[in-house]
Chains A and B, each alone.
Chain A
Amino acid sequence: MNKNLLHLAKDVTSDNVLKEPTRKGFGRGLLEAGKRDANVVAACADLTDSTQIGLFAKEFPSRFIQIGIAEQNLVTVGAGLAAMGKIPFVSSYAAFSPGRNWEQIRTTICLNERPVRIVGSHAGLYTGADGATHQMLEDIALMRVLPHMVVVVPGDSLEAERATLALAADSRPAYLRLAREATPVLTTEKTPFEIGKAYVYEPGEDLTIISTGTMTSVALKAAERLFKEGISAEVIHVPTIKPLDTTTILHSVEKTKAVLTIEEGQIAGGLGGAVAELLGEELPVPMKRLGVQDVFGQSGKPDELLEHYGLTDKHLMLAAIELMTRKGK
């Protein structure tokens, strides 16, 4: 599989690339899902516009529930809706849902096997000026450990749209992680998306860069710079953290024998954690995880924050060069 077969957008590493927040794609996807299936319903905890669930609410007011600022209620009402055969999407900021209501999600959704789709917007450092309280960095880890839970982190707005439609058609509890800020649109209408599949966005030989969410565009930029340095990096975009596409990852790492992961969240328990668990057991190779290193965020512009926390193509390139040295030994 390569770029052409995946119908990726052209010039995705240029500065002129089209940008749009992933939450916008979710808003469109949910509206479409609502048109396709009358059982799709939505609830929100007083963040209707910013989580983009408002598009659905406006079109289907009788299928939308305004919960107020009550995230524990948000997900448990979701469990009740699912109990009666509805297909609920419940949204808030990721810091609050699933940040505040983890036990309710565990008991009434996962253990109880009720397919509620929990939509956490404004995740990661891209939340920017709001500061550490609102920059959710631990959500992937929190959701990943729950049995039965699917964890999806779209790489761009179009993928978020497709992921939303896929989750509406799926019958498992799920977490959909979204970002506030506009990020490059890497895919096109024709790009495939399937829950549980990882995609090789850039084929390479020397090392594998595994990325998720907003960091995939950074990974593609880094691969381009590495190519100029004579290093051939394979970039695997992992929009589904759980279930992890172990086949695609192992297939790549068998070839490259070196792995970098990058994500806009804590390295503990997130994508890097998931990949390290897999490779530690199946295929130990030199590896480095890029992400937030066991600290909290702070206010600032997204670019300043990504630079400060080491999540730019430059950081990725330097890490790759260092990793190639380790691999060479």
Chain B
Amino acid sequence: MATEKLTLEALELKANDIRQDIIRMLEHAGSGHSAGPLGLADIFTALYFDVLKHDPKKPDWDMRDLVILSNGHCVPVQYATMAHAGYFDKKELLTLRKFGSRLQGHPERIKLPGLETTSGPLGCGLSQAAGMALAMRMDQVFHRWIYVVMGDGEQDEGNVWEAAMLAAKYKLNNIIAITDRNNIQIDGPTEQVMPLEDLKAKWESFGWHVMTIDGNNMETIIDTLAMARAIVDKPVMIIAYTIPGKGVGYMEYDYHWHGAPPGIQDVPGDPPKADQAKIALHELRTLRGKIRGEHE
């Protein structure tokens, strides 16, 4: 059934491997989003290698937990994690965004088994999760969890708050939403483009149980998700503070890397485009020089 549990250290190394694959995929694709997927690698690793009840060999298993990626542009992290978990061969990762690929630029359920929905246009993952949770309740199905990964910029969308009200109204406690709070969106810092704060207070006032965490700390992520499953009277929102571009120094905290892959454009202050992927991979392999990369 589920993938064998890994130690905390092994999970952290797995997240690092996944980040390297994200860089390789994006460089090869020549387009796509870098910062978000790198920032989300720890959360996706925790989900697929520790938290989820799932079977990569039986993606339609009818008791599986569901992962809804609402911010579809971050799908490289989901593809990479799914490949590592055994949903498909890692070689396929390099087909990202290519003609005929199952790994579409934004996720399409019909194309790739294991995806629960089709997304990209923002703001409608949570409401689909609400529909799923309502259907489970009608069928008296319990103990199936729906993890909804959302962007922070995405919460500019009205549909998010329509769903927030509905999930609270029906007390859909098997929904655990995770906001990737990396403070950037395409046009700049979220608080400049459209201020979201006080985000915790917003969700609380909508009737949700809210927790804020370091979204790049593996142990914290796993512990928090366990706590979230223990909340029975409300849907849960985990505001996970992540570092956009996590693990690649020149990308971290820089909104210019929200919508760009390495190797396409020269960004002032960053490495020249020809070296961007190489440097990113080197940094990830060596954990920023803390260790010597095995292939160096």
Contacts and interface: CB of A to CB of B under 8 A. Distances in A.
Interface of A: 41, 62-63, 65, 67-68, 70, 72-73, 76-86, 88, 103-104, 107-108, 111-113
Given A73-B163, A112-B109, A112-B110, A84 B118 contact: no
A104 B139 CA distance: 26
A281 B111 CA distance: 33
A108 B130 contact: no
B138 A41 contact: yes
Given A104-B124, A107-B121, A81 B159 contact: no
Nearest to A38: B138
A146 B107 CA distance: 19
Given A107-B120, A107-B121, A112-B118, A84 B110 contact: no
Nearest to A101: B159
Contact of B162 (A63, A72, A80): A72
B116 A83 contact: yes
B172 to A, nearest CB: 10
B70 to A, nearest CB: 10
A67 to B, nearest CB: 6
A80 B128 contact: yes
Given A80-B127, A80-B131, A86 B138 contact: yes
Contact of A76 (B108, B131, B138, B165): B131
Nearest to B131: A80
B108 A108 contact: no
B127 A73 contact: yes
Interface in B91-111: 108-110
Contact of B132 (A41, A67, A84): A84
Given A41-B138, A80-B132, 18 more contacts: A41-B135, A68-B165, A70-B165, A72-B123, A72-B127, A72-B162, A76-B163, A77-B128, A77-B130, A80-B128, A80-B135, A84-B131, A84-B139, A86-B135, A88-B131, A108-B117, A112-B118, A113-B109
Nearest to B66: A83
B9 to A, nearest CB: 36
A194 B134 CA distance: 31
B118 A77 contact: no
B166 interface: yes
B124 A107 contact: yes
A81 to B, nearest CB: 4
A308 to B, nearest CB: 36
12 contacts: A70-B166, A73-B162, A77-B166, A79-B124, A79-B131, A80-B129, A80-B134, A81-B135, A83-B131, A83-B132, A84-B131, A113-B109
A111 B127 CA distance: 17
Contacts of B136: 84
Nearest to B127: A76
A76 B128 contact: yes
A83 B158 contact: no
Nearest to A71: B162
A82 B128 CA distance: 9
B216 interface: no
B119 interface: yes
Contacts of B127: 72-73, 76-77, 80
